[in-house]
């Protein structure tokens, strides 16, 4: 595709349709979009076909959605492309660590190959940004990290990405702070961590060290926190204090954060306000069969909440398919978001908050000047796409097709 071209007959959401003050549907309109240097340069009604010489790609009325963000995967853990194997039952997370350490190096494919297989699936699903954790531990050193870097380098220009240097086996427990530092020096833009209390056994030191490495390397933070109840809440509060002290507002995320599901009345408002003020975001993979952070409550209180896939066929879980839209649909189902507006709003959990229509039903995306990062969807509106997990025949990143294509164009 040349650097300037038209996307013709693109279906865009225009506003909500109301009946007795209630949103009952979504209005759309067909438009032509001029793409210039990867950005949307013009949006015009489909009534008039531009008579310039630029190439025209007929989108054939597919719905445009902002491309998705996959906020939590482990590209280095998946066994996609390998022979089937179920998960071995274990008595503790530490047994799981040992199994994974043994299994991954024994596979016939390389980490890079498996990561690329997964990246393809993520792109097909419509994710054009990937935040991946990569295991950093003594026995592996930075081998996983470099392989994932290579895999992602092969997709340069097709997606954006960020790597979390993730001490899966415990920053303290595995004594791998120096390795994490090295990963940050080599391009990891986030420092990870896991259960400062129950894995590392020293909440204070674990959190301090994680923060110290982040500040030193000018990196963000994304902490895996499974620790439940008051223990998890205490961890989040301490992390918040350290965030404030370090001036790391807007740079910290807590993944899973199961403890937020255990907040009692009174605690919740205070916690949400703190997270919101410090710009600490929450990432959930919407696991079923256990309680999860109150996504809707947090969102309404101004906390950034993202839905992510997490495990996709690895030593931890035999499930997961990398389809972030399906995950968002699961959140909607699980939390009873079944009306037009609630479904439409759910999209924001997988787009970094961008939705075609804002709360008041005004068109908010796409705007001239936005990146042409678009998922072309067989749906009549966002709400349908979420509920029905609609097919996505084409995915575009900064004006470039990165998965699928248009049948007409």
Q: Residue 339, interface with another protein (CB under 8 A)?
A: yes
Binding mask 111-150 for another protein (x = CB under 8 A): ----------------------------------------
For another protein, which residue of 249, 321, 391, 407 counts as binding (CB under 8 A)? 321
Binding mask 375-394 for another protein (x = CB under 8 A): ----xxx-xx--xxx-----
For another protein, which residue of 122, 172, 242, 332 counts as binding (CB under 8 A)? 332
Query: With respect to another protein, which residue has the nearer C-beta, 208 or 339?
Result: 339
Query: Would strands 394-397 and 400-404 be described as parallel, antiparallel, or unpaired?
Result: antiparallel
Would you call 405 helix, strand, or coil by DSSP?
coil
Got the DSSP string for 39-91? Answer: EEEEEEETTS---SSSEEEE-TTPEEEEPEEEEEE-TTT--TTSPP--PPP-S
Half-sphere exposure of residue 381, counting CA atoms within 13 Å on the CB side?
Answer: 24
How does 346-373 read in b/e, with b if 16+ C-beta sit within 10 Å? bbbbbbeebbbbeeebebebbeeebbbb
For CA atoms 328, 330, 333, 338, the dihedral sign is positive
ω into residue 270 within 30 of 0, thus cis?
no
Q: How far is the CB of 157 from another protein (least distance, A)?
A: 31
Query: With respect to another protein, which residue has the nearer C-beta, 168 or 390?
Result: 390
For another protein, which residue of 58, 162, 262, 333 counts as binding (CB under 8 A)? 333
Tokens read off for 174 = 């595995």
Query: With respect to another protein, which residue has the nearer C-beta, 225 or 387?
Result: 387
Q: Look up residue 317 and give its DSSP letter.
A: -
Query: With respect to another protein, which residue has the nearer C-beta, 262 or 333?
Result: 333
Q: Residue 202, interface with another protein (CB under 8 A)?
A: no
Task: Please count the residues of the chain.
Answer: 409
The burial class, CB within 10 Å (0-12 / 13-18 / 19+), for 30 is middle
For another protein, which residue of 15, 25, 353, 393 counts as binding (CB under 8 A)? 25
Q: Residue 329, interface with another protein (CB under 8 A)?
A: yes
Distances (CA, A) of 98 to 103, 249, 317: 9, 35, 15
Q: Residue 265, interface with another protein (CB under 8 A)?
A: no
Q: How far is the CB of 279 from another protein (least distance, A)?
A: 30
Sole window of 112-120, 155-163, 267-275, 318-326 interacting with another protein (rule: CB under 8 A):
318-326
Sole window of 4-12, 79-87, 108-116, 256-264 interacting with another protein (rule: CB under 8 A):
79-87
Sole window of 209-217, 298-306, 313-321, 356-364 interacting with another protein (rule: CB under 8 A):
313-321
CB neighbourhood size of 88 (10 A): 10
Greatest alpha-carbon span in the chain: 68
Q: How far is the CB of 172 from another protein (least distance, A)?
A: 29
Query: With respect to another protein, which residue has the nearer C-beta, 23 or 164?
Result: 23
Q: Residue 288, interface with another protein (CB under 8 A)?
A: yes
Query: What angle in degrees, to the nearest 10, is found between the helix axes of 111-125 and 143-153?
Result: 40
What is the distance between the alpha carbons of residues 294 and 136, in angstroms, rounded to a whole number? 31
# of chain residues touching another protein (CB under 8 A): 36
Sole window of 65-73, 93-101, 195-203, 310-318 interacting with another protein (rule: CB under 8 A):
310-318
For another protein, which residue of 21, 336, 367, 369 counts as binding (CB under 8 A)? 336
**CA dihedral of residues 127, 319, 189, 370 (deg, nearest 10):** 10
Q: Residue 289, interface with another protein (CB under 8 A)?
A: yes
Q: How far is the CB of 16 from another protein (least distance, A)?
A: 11
Tokens read off for 25 = 């549907």
Q: Residue 1, interface with another protein (CB under 8 A)?
A: no
Pick from 322, 269, 343: which is nearest to 130 by CA? Answer: 322
Residue list 219-248, contact with another protein (CB under 8 A): none
Which residues of this protein are in contact with another protein, per CB under 8 A?
A: 22, 24-25, 83-89, 288-289, 313, 317-319, 321, 329-330, 332-336, 338-340, 343, 379-381, 383-384, 387-389
């Amino acid at each position: 595709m040349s650097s300037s071209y038209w996307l013709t007959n693109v279906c865009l959401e225009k506003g909500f349709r109301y009946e007795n003050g209630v949103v009952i549907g979504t209005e759309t309109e067909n438009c032509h979009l001029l793409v210039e240097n990867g950005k949307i340069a013009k949006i015009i009604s489909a009534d008039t076909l531009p008579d310039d010489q630029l190439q025209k790609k007929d989108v054939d009325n597919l719905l445009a959605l902002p491309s998705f963000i996959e906020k939590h995967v482990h590209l280095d853990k998946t066994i996609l492309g390998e022979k089937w194997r179920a998960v071995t039952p274990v008595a503790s997370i530490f047994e799981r660590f040992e199994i994974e350490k043994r299994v991954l190096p024994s596979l016939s494919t390389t980490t890079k190959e498996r990561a690329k297989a997964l990246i393809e699936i993520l792109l097909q699903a419509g994710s054009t940004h990937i935040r991946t954790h990569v295991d950093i531990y003594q026995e592996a050193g930075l081998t996983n990290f470099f392989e994932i870097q290579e895999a992602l380098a092969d997709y340069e220009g097709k997606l954006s990405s960020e790597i979390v240097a993730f001490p899966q086996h415990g920053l303290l427990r595995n004594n791998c702070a120096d390795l994490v530092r090295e990963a940050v020096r080599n391009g990891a833009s986030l420092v990870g961590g896991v259960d400062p209390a129950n894995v590392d056994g020293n909440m204070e030191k674990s959190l301090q060290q994680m923060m110290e490495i982040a500040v030193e390397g000018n990196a963000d933070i994304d902490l895996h926190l499974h620790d439940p109840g008051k223990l998890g809440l205490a961890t989040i509060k301490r992390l918040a204090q350290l965030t404030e002290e370090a001036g790391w507002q807007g740079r910290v995320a807590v993944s899973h954060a199961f403890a937020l599901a255990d907040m009692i009345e009174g605690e919740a408002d205070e916690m949400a306000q703190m997270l919101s003020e410090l710009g600490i975001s929450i990432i959930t993979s919407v696991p079923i069969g256990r309680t999860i952070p109150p996504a809707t409550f947090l969102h309404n209180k101004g906390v950034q909440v993202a839905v992510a896939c997490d495990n996709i066929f690895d030593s931890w879980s035999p499930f997961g398919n990398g389809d972030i839209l399906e995950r968002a649909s699961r959140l909607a189902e699980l939390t009873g978001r079944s009306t037009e507006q609630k479904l439409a709003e759910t999209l924001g959990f997988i787009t970094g908050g961008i939705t075609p229509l804002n709360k008041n039903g005004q068109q908010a995306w796409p705007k001239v000047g936005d990146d042409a990062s678009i998922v072309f969807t067989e749906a009549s509106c966002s709400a349908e796409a979420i509920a029905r997990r609609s097919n996505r025949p084409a995915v575009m990143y900064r004006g470039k097709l990165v998965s699928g294509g248009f049948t007409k164009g």
